[in-house]
Structure 1
């Protein structure tokens, strides 16, 4: 794919040729690679900056971690505010991502935070607030993207929200992580 090779001119040609700019989350991939010109091109072509990658990160978060301030500035006006970012500004997003990275290095903090997020997600699920439950499970998955239970829970939320493709992706990832876990296969087959 053109994004992986940093061929912005190829990206422009693909966009002009009618390529689906939201397919395979090209914007997240460009943000993760720090491809500023590709980000500009995709945003101008209508790519949705509010689509998370498989680890629950938005393109703007990836830009803050891997890209440049300019990448964050490009995505900022098009990205919906993230509930966990207290200061919804370019600087606030960058500081939030930096803080998340530091917190992930503290094992005891991660365990406590994951447990809290999972519990809050479970409570939201019981209230049939699948959108909020999905967001909370996604936040927990940012800390440990190999937690099959969280993937399974988010898969069910996505399914109940009518997002079958994403639910199936989570279920497939879950079966890769725990191939002998019956619940993972159940989610995949639902």
Structure 2
């Protein structure tokens, strides 16, 4: 009787949600953790493989809300454990939301620990939200500790967020502490700024010496980072240095020395993380060097900083084109053309995209 009462209540709620959110009855039951209703509806013919907008499956919904028993039940009914959606796989979504038990269940059922969104893996998403317990499970389950791509390094994220246990776990799993973030900073520098002395001490033995740090020791690194922070508080110093580095980058670019140009732009970005023009310039450098992933990352960051800047969307469209994602290129270039309808450069690439899509 209690099951019937519970199910009847769910039905009443479903009628309202169908009108308001266009959820199916079984989707509503999954979202609210009503396993008896889920069983009943699927037994009555509801499609276990159904998806709503964004390719969100029933398993995505169950994982997102931490409904462990429903996750197990859906897996027993043969749903795609690695189904891709606009928010990534069920595992990625569970990791982002911090549902460690769901992450464990999915890994036990052979979910791919490295399949997440187009840009981020489940480990990146867990660390981004500081979900250390999920991160540990993913590392134990075989997640790539180098990250989903060159622009997303789990150790960088852990250091920047001061996640001591995650740093320890990543280093034990073989993470490389000598990889720079997109602004030219090493994990140990980030740990000195955002973390604890313990974080710096863990990273120190396996970090290669930094040429600008005269006293290569834990204390020396912490002092060096503090000095850099103090320098960045001097607006005139920052403006002069960024301008000089940008000019050196521009000069190198004109000589088609894209590698050194990218180095100068990176040094400038280390001092000013929010300069969209520097990101745009470096994105073009990556593109000329054949690194579509880094070009995409810089262009994507650029559009976030300046959503109304046509060139930012143009750079993103060019990066999409390079990796042959023509739908993404079309959307970005359409946006760029709306913002700057007079640009022949944007229009030319837009029509090239249209031809490739047809």
Normalising by the residue count of structure 1, what TM-score does the alignment of the two structures yield? 0.84
User: C-alpha distance in 2, partners of 1:169/1:43?
Assistant: 25
Is the CA contact 2:132–2:165 (under 8 Å) kept in the aligned structure 1?
no
Q: Cα 1:163–1:88, aligned 2, differ >3 Å: closer, same or farther? A: farther
User: C-alpha distance in 2, partners of 1:184/1:5?
Assistant: 30
In the TM superposition, 1:43-122 aligns within 5 A as: 43-122=171-250
Aligned twin of 2:296? 168
Q: Using CA pairs below 8 Å that are at least 6 residues apart, which structure has the higher relative contact order?
A: 1
1:21 aligns with 2:145: yes
User: C-alpha distance in 1, partners of 2:138/2:241?
Assistant: 42
1:126 aligns with 2:249: no
Aligned twin of 2:282? 154
Q: Which runs of 5+ in 1 are unaligned?
A: none
Aligned pairs, number:
189
In structure 2, the residue corresponding to 1:96 is in which secondary structure?
Answer: helix
User: C-alpha distance in 2, partners of 1:74/1:187?
Assistant: 38
Is the CA contact 2:162–2:195 (under 8 Å) kept in the aligned structure 1?
yes
Aligned twin of 1:36? 164
Structure number with bigger Rg: 2
Is the CA contact 2:280–2:298 (under 8 Å) kept in the aligned structure 1?
yes
Of residues 111, 115, 132, the one that matches 1:7 is 132
Normalising by the residue count of structure 2, what TM-score does the alignment of the two structures yield? 0.48
User: C-alpha distance in 2, partners of 1:46/1:162?
Assistant: 28
Q: Cα 1:76–1:184, aligned 2, differ >3 Å: closer, same or farther? A: same
Q: Cα 1:37–1:175, aligned 2, differ >3 Å: closer, same or farther? A: closer
Could you tell me how far 1:112 is from its partner in structure 2? 0.8
Q: Which runs of 5+ in 2 are unaligned?
A: 1-95, 97-125, 319-358
User: C-alpha distance in 1, partners of 2:141/2:207?
Assistant: 25
